[in-house]
Amino acid sequence: MNKRTGALTGASGTYFVASKLTFYNFHAAITFGNAPMVDILVSRADGGASLALQVKTTETAIRTRGRGKNKKFDHYEWDAGYKAAHTARKNLFYAFVDLKGFKTIPDVFLVPSTFLVKWFKPHGNLKRYRFHPKVQVMEKFKNNWPQLKALLKE
């Protein structure tokens, strides 16, 4: 079997997120690269409210620290990009997808763009914008679909 390309990994995450959104009774329109910074346009069923999702996917996001008995989950890691680090909008969210090698159901971390910009700010200008938050920091975003429901006031 051939190794999956970055584009196919990204598509896997985008389609997974769109399917979850549809399951939760939202319209999820994948933009197929036709909208800058937006992979999925999300709206209430009646079209009364909407938001934009940018999806960032990796095959395995979790990273560990330590050895032997001291080895533990430490942080997650995704490539985010320059725009993610510098664009904060009220209705722009990032869906960071950890496919977990599809050995189990992937996790989706729904992060407001405002949070992401604040997270990157102390890091200054970087050559590569890699989002690598601690596990504890990401718990509030992990599979937190209710925050989107609240924002869209469903």
In contact, 92 and 113? CB cutoff 8 Å: yes
What per-residue confidence (pLDDT) applies to 55? 97
CATH topology of domain 6-151: Trna Endonuclease; Chain: A, domain 1 (3.40.1350)
Q: Render pLDDT for 83-119 as a digit per residue (tens, 0 to 9).
A: 999 999 999 999 999 999 889 999 999 999 999 999 9
- According to DSSP H, which parts of the chain are helical? 6-23, 82-86, 113-120, 135-138, 145-151
The mean predicted confidence, pLDDT, of the chain is 92
* C-alpha–C-alpha distance, residues 131 and 150, integer Å: 25
pTM for the predicted model, two decimal places: 0.92
In the block, which residue shows the tokens 């890699």?
130
Tokens of 29: 């329109």
* C-alpha–C-alpha distance, residues 93 and 45, integer Å: 19
Task: Label residue 76 by pLDDT band (50, 70, 90).
Answer: very high
